[in-house]
Amino acid sequence: MSETLIKEVENKMLTTINHLVDEFATIRTGRANPALVDKLTVEYYGTKTPLQQLATISVPDPKLLVIQPFDKNSLDEIEKSILNADIGLNPTNDGEVVRIPIPALSEERRKELGKVASKASEDAKVSIRTHRRFGIDEISKLKDDHSADEIKRLETQVQDITDNFVNKIDELLTVKQNELLEV
């Protein structure tokens, strides 16, 4: 039971890290990345449909996203959803594809996005600590069935896992901030 508990805590923390990675992918860095438009939905024949189901998204060069819809009739709706998403991108539609040039970020915008990334990493750390608290609470419930040494070993194991994940968050933040500072 105790090893299952440790594995459960570790899996919850890993889910938090994966969420942070996804969140960092949506923060624009000045180079094209399909993740910038991953979460967009498009009004397609009266239904909100994820953009990924309507088109192929490619990156022909570092400063350009190209969206090739499967149905040419959806071009205008795709363009409209990108404009309405308020992500600071201006798509152009040539009748075949939607091109999205990625403008260079100003120094001020880079700093703002750095703060957004810092907040996301702080939120992830809070989540990691919440999972740690859950694990410690569950371990304390095992005091009747396990020795004090065993309880201490499990608590230390949860703390080590927590420290590893917090370090991973710091590493991810450093990488993202370096990407943001690249010109």
Going residue by residue through the chain (183 aa), what tens digit of pLDDT does each one get?
678 888 999 999 999 999 999 888 877 777 777 877 877 888 888 888 888 888 888 888 888 889 898 888 888 888 888 888 777 778 888 888 888 888 777 888 888 888 989 999 999 999 999 999 999 998 888 888 888 888 899 899 999 999 999 999 999 999 998 888 776
How many Å apart are CA 152 and CA 170, to the nearest integer? 27
Q: So what's the pLDDT on residue 183?
A: 60
List C-alpha distances in Å: 174 to 72, 118, 121, 129, 181: 41, 9, 10, 20, 11
List C-alpha distances in Å: 58 to 35, 79, 93, 174: 11, 15, 15, 27
The pTM (predicted TM-score) of the whole model is 0.73
DSSP label at 45?
T
In order of their start, the domains of the chain are 2-26+106-181 (1.10.132.20), 34-101 (3.30.1360.40)
User: What type of residue sits at position 163?
Assistant: D
